[in-house]
């Protein structure tokens, strides 16, 4: 059977949707060359780091118990440090998510009486509980760590004056979120983050600048640690795990600050010396090796979705032609029915759980129902094809991932078809 007919039979892709998808893909093909060039450079970077550190199959052995002398773990951490142009790294399955890695980096480097500053507006939802912006048991606020925030200006730019005023004697650490999270704002390029850090360090040279690097890794050819960030933190079930890491987080940066985090993760006096890897090390290595390719595919998917939706009159952030700083594509879908149809369509294109229909639910930590489409091999993995949306006006949907561009393209096209089938849009 012809491919187009198979798609029709399997997913109900009509000729009009097929034609529109084809036209859209042709229009964005010139952008793909640029994405491929970034992928190649990042692939080289990872390869070079692995060769430099003489990665060998002896590094793939599992350790148990305390995990002393885990050569694979230590080598992997050196590879991460090199890839990020940093002094040291902590890359562990015991860091159970991005939120946990950020918590460990913050709690390890802040002491009672210190102040934390976010110069880029409100942090990601889960971090609000960690900091104590939203009261939670065990928050940094409970340990006497205060928090200050400087919002972005209405045009999305940094409030330089406000940041200058907010920095004070107590400011110990500045947290900069690269990706937009659930906000309708630009994600910051590494260059922009570099400018912000330079500005902050000129006023207060000893302040620790930490970047929440979630969704940003390998989207550009440099990372925040190469433009002055003292720490960069992220999740292995997002970009750097390449879809293969089944769990994990990383903290890279200056040796001293990574060590501060390590003694918080394990124990004072133990630090990085302990922590068994239980057999996950090969998937961490191989996932990192594949990450540039997977991220490149995800960026292509984001551009494709943006272009599809722009052609239908929806607002997109970033625009299909914009330079990318992360893999997240936000679409203002304007009504609830659009959000449900798109997310339910994405789910239909998943390799896992394609037969279930996602519905909005009251997730802890969110102020409205949230719908999440994810049929992933790794639970909650958002480097895999996924879309989620807080179900409230103006009905933004946040799309990211895809283990391959080709899978993402099929999934997104089914999302569009579902909107067409429900009479929400006409092509
Ligand atoms: C995903 C994400 C996190 C961490 O989320 P986890 O689900 O805990 O991994 C933190 N910040 C941003 C901007 C994120 O996108």
Q: What digits encode the pLDDT tens for the residues 328-357?
A: 999 999 999 999 999 999 999 999 999 999
User: Which amino acids bring their CB within 6 angstroms of ligand 1?
Assistant: 97-99, 124, 126, 177, 179, 181, 212, 214-215, 235
- The pLDDT tens digits for 128-141 are 999 999 999 999 99
- In angstroms, the CA 33 to CA 37 distance is 6
427's CB contacts (< 8 A; 6+ apart) are 16, 17, 20, 312, 420
Confidence of residue 367 (pLDDT cuts 50, 70, 90): confident
Q: Is 174 exposed, middle or buried (0-12, 13-18, 19+ CB in 10 A)?
A: buried
pLDDT attached to residue 365: 65
Q: Is the pLDDT of residue 162 over 80?
A: yes
> For a substitution probing ligand 1, which of 214, 298, 401 has the most ligand atoms within 8 Å of its CB?
214
Phi, then psi, of 302 in degrees rounded to 5: -65, -40
CA of 305 to the centre of ligand 1 (A): 22
Q: Which of 127, 84, 86, 133 is nearest to 107 (CA)?
A: 127
By DSSP bridging, strand 370-374 and strand 171-177 are: unpaired
Average pLDDT over residues 46-59: 98
Q: Is the pLDDT of residue 117 over 90?
A: yes
The correct CATH number of 43-288 out of 3.40.50.720, 1.10.540.10, 3.40.640.10, 3.30.300.30 is 3.40.640.10
Q: Which of 30, 26, 41 is nearest to 296 (CA)?
A: 41
Does the fold of domain 43-288 match that of domain 5-39+293-421? no
pLDDT attached to residue 212: 98
Domain boundaries, the chain: 5-39+293-421, 43-288
- In angstroms, the CA 149 to CA 158 distance is 12
Q: At what angle do helices 15-52 and 281-310 cross, to 10 degrees?
A: 150
CATH code at 5-39+293-421: 3.90.1150.60
Average pLDDT, the chain: 97
3-state secondary structure of 36: helix
Confidence of residue 98 (pLDDT cuts 50, 70, 90): very high
44's CB contacts (< 8 A; 6+ apart) are none
> For a substitution probing ligand 1, which of 96, 99, 185 has the most ligand atoms within 8 Å of its CB?
99
- Residue nearest atom 14 in ligand 1 by C-alpha distance: 214
- In angstroms, the CA 65 to CA 364 distance is 33
- The pLDDT tens digits for 190-214 are 999 999 999 999 999 999 999 999 9
Confidence of residue 361 (pLDDT cuts 50, 70, 90): very high
- In angstroms, the CA 199 to CA 177 distance is 16
- CA 249 to ligand 1: nearest atom: 9
- CA 179 to ligand 1: nearest atom: 13
- In angstroms, the CA 261 to CA 97 distance is 15
Instruction: Write out the two tokens for 302.
Output: 């984001």
- In angstroms, the CA 40 to CA 370 distance is 36
Q: Which of 230, 236, 185 is nearest to 211 (CA)?
A: 230
CA of 336 to the centre of ligand 1 (A): 24
- Residue nearest atom 3 in ligand 1 by C-alpha distance: 98
3-state secondary structure of 138: coil
Confidence of residue 40 (pLDDT cuts 50, 70, 90): very high
Report the percentage of the chain scoring pLDDT > 90: 97
Side-chain-facing half-sphere of 289: CA atoms under 13 Å: 12
Average pLDDT over residues 384-399: 96
3-state secondary structure of 425: coil
> For a substitution probing ligand 1, which of 93, 104, 178, 179 has the most ligand atoms within 8 Å of its CB?
179
205, 206, 212, 216: CA torsion to nearest 10: 40
Q: Is 101 exposed, middle or buried (0-12, 13-18, 19+ CB in 10 A)?
A: buried
């Amino acid at each position: 059977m012809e491919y187009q007919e198979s798609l029709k039979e399997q997913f109900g892709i009509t000729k009009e949707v097929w034609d529109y998808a084809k036209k859209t893909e042709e229009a964005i093909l010139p952008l793909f060359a640029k994405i491929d060039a970034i992928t190649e450079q990042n692939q080289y970077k990872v390869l070079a780091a692995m060769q430099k550190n003489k990665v060998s199959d002896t590094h793939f052995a599992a350790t148990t118990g305390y995990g002393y002398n885990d050569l694979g773990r230590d080598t992997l951490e050196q590879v991460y440090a090199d890839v990020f142009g940093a002094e040291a790294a902590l890359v562990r399955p015991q860091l159970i998510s991005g939120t946990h890695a950020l918590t460990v980096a913050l709690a390890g480097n802040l002491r009672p009486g210190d102040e934390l500053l976010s110069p880029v507006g409100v942090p990601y939802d889960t971090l609000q509980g960690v900091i104590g912006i939203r009261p939670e048991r065990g928050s940094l606020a409970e340990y006497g760590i205060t928090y200050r925030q400087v919002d972005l200006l209405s045009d999305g730019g940094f409030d330089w004056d406000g940041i200058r005023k907010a920095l004070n004697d107590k400011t110990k650490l500045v947290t900069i979120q690269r990706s937009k999270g659930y906000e309708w704002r630009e994600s910051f390029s590494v260059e922009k983050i570099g400018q912000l850090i330079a500005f902050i360090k000129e006023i207060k040279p000893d302040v620790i600048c930490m970047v929440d690097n979630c969704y940003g890794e390998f989207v550009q050819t440099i990372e925040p640690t190469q433009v002055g960030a003292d720490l960069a933190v992220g999740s292995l079930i997002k970009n750097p795990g390449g879809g293969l890491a089944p769990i994990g987080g990383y903290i890279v940066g200056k040796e001293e600050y990574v060590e501060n985090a390590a003694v918080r993760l394990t124990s004072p006096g133990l630090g990085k010396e302990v922590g068994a890897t239980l057999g996950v090390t090969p998937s961490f290595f191989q996932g990192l090796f594949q990450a540039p390719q997977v991220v490149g595919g995800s960026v292509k998917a984001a551009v494709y979705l943006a272009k599809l939706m722009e052609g239908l009159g929806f607002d997109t952030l970033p625009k299909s032609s914009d330079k990318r700083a992360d893999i997240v594509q936000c679409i203002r879908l304007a009504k609830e029915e659009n959000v449900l149809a798109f997310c339910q369509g994405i789910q239909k294109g998943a390799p896992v759980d394609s037969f279930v229909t996602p519905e909005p639910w009251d997730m802890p930590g969110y102020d409205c129902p949230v719908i999440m489409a994810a049929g992933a091999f790794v639970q909650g993995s958002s480097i895999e094809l996924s879309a989620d949306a807080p179900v409230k006006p103006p009905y933004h949907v946040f799309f990211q991932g895809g283990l391959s561009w080709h899978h993402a393209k099929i999934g997104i096209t089914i999302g569009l078809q579902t909107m067409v089938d429900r009479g929400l849009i006409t092509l």
